């Protein structure tokens, strides 16, 4: 079921002008009640992902799944940004995503300064801003700009973005086009 957005049209248009200015044109507004948070996502982080315990913006350096659900519950308006990319090898993805995430950080800052004090970004990939991650929040080398990904916040990205009308598929290898998503929590 789709829920009504809780941000007036003129305010949305003002923010859309900011998105445009930063070069982000592929996005959808959503009501955060449509963000699906699931325990299975955290299990995938804990068992099968090499970043668990090594990336300071990934589990276990994130809130519990129930705290993540509470976090999303506190918002009434959010935006999903869509990014497409094909890479030849895994390292190429990790060269591309920090650049996009840093640009998104600037966008988050501008939305905050526009009067949205709760503005909070979820990166479109695990935080890879540093070559050598500190591994814990206390040892994060860039805590002002480091953000968790939606997956680190236990978001079932597949279900959530499909519901919003975006494409996403399980990829069998790196030669296939990726569809990646950042979330901007607005208010």
Exposure string over 90-105, b if 16+ CB within 10 A, otherwise e: eeebeebbbebbeebb
Residues 16, 88 contacting (CB under 8 angstroms): no
141 binds ligand SF4 (CB under 6 A): yes
86/141 with CB nearer ligand SF4: 141
Which of 35, 104, 105, 129 is close enough to bind ligand SF4 by CB under 6 A?
A: 129
- Between residues 141 and 177, which has the closer beta carbon with respect to ligand SF4? 141
Distance CA 147, CA 140 (A): 11
Task: Kindly state the smallest distance separating residue 169's Cβ from ligand SF4, in Å.
Answer: 27
Question: How far apart (Å, rounded) are the C-alpha atoms in residues 159 and 178?
Answer: 16
Q: Is 59 in the site for ligand SF4 (CB under 6 A)?
A: no
Judged by CB under 6 A, the residue of 15, 121, 127, 186 near ligand SF4 is 127
CA of residue 155 relative to chain centroid, distance: 9
Q: Which residues pair with 120 in a beta bridge?
A: 185
With CB under 6 A as the contact rule, the residue among 5, 18, 49, 142 that binds ligand SF4 is 142
- Give the footprint of ligand SF4 on this chain (CB under 6 A): 55-57, 127-130, 133-134, 140-142, 146
């Amino acid at each position: 079921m789709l829920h009504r957005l809780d941000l007036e049209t003129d305010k949305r248009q003002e923010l859309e002008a900011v998105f445009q200015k930063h070069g982000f044109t592929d996005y959808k507004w959503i009501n955060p009640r449509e963000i699906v948070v699931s325990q299975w996502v955290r299990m995938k982080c804990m068992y099968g992902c090499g970043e668990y315990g090594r990336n300071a913006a990934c589990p276990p350096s994130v809130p519990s799944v129930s705290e993540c659900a509470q976090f999303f519950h506190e918002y009434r308006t959010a935006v999903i940004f869509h990014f497409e990319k094909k890479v030849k090898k895994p390292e190429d993805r990790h060269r591309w995503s920090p650049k996009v995430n840093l640009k998104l950080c600037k966008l988050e800052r501008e939305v905050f300064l526009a009067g949205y004090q709760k503005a909070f970004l979820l990166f479109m990939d695990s935080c890879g801003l540093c070559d050598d991650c500190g591994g814990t929040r206390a040892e994060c080398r860039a805590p002002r700009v480091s953000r968790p990904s939606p997956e680190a916040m236990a978001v079932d990205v597949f279900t959530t973005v499909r519901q919003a009308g975006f494409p996403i598929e399980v990829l069998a290898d790196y030669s296939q086009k990726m569809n990646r998503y950042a979330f901007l929590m607005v208010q």
